[in-house]
Amino acid sequence: MFSSFKNIFKNPNIKIEASDDEYKVASTALLCEAASMDGVFDDNEKKLILVLIQKQFNVDENEANKIYIEGKGLAENSAQLYGFTRVIKESWDNKKRISLLEMLWELAYVDGELDAAEDMLIRRIAGLIHVEDRDRIEAKQRVLKKLNN
**Domain extents in the chain:** 2-148
pLDDT score recorded for residue 19 = 57
Q: What are 80-123's pLDDT values in tens digits? A: 777 788 888 888 899 999 999 999 999 999 888 898 999 999 99
Band (133; pLDDT cuts 50, 70, 90): very high
- When mean pLDDT is compared across 55-59, 130-134, 137-141, the lowest value belongs to 55-59
- DSSP classification of residue 16: P
Dihedral over alpha carbons 122, 127, 133, 138 (to 10 degrees): -40
Task: Report the phi/psi class of residue 39: left, alpha or beta, with left for phi > 0 and alpha for psi in -120 to 50.
Answer: left
Q: Is the distance from CB of 124 to CB of 81 less than 8 angstroms?
A: yes
In angstroms, how far is the first alpha carbon of the chain from the final one?
39
CATH topology of domain 2-148: TerB-like (1.10.3680)
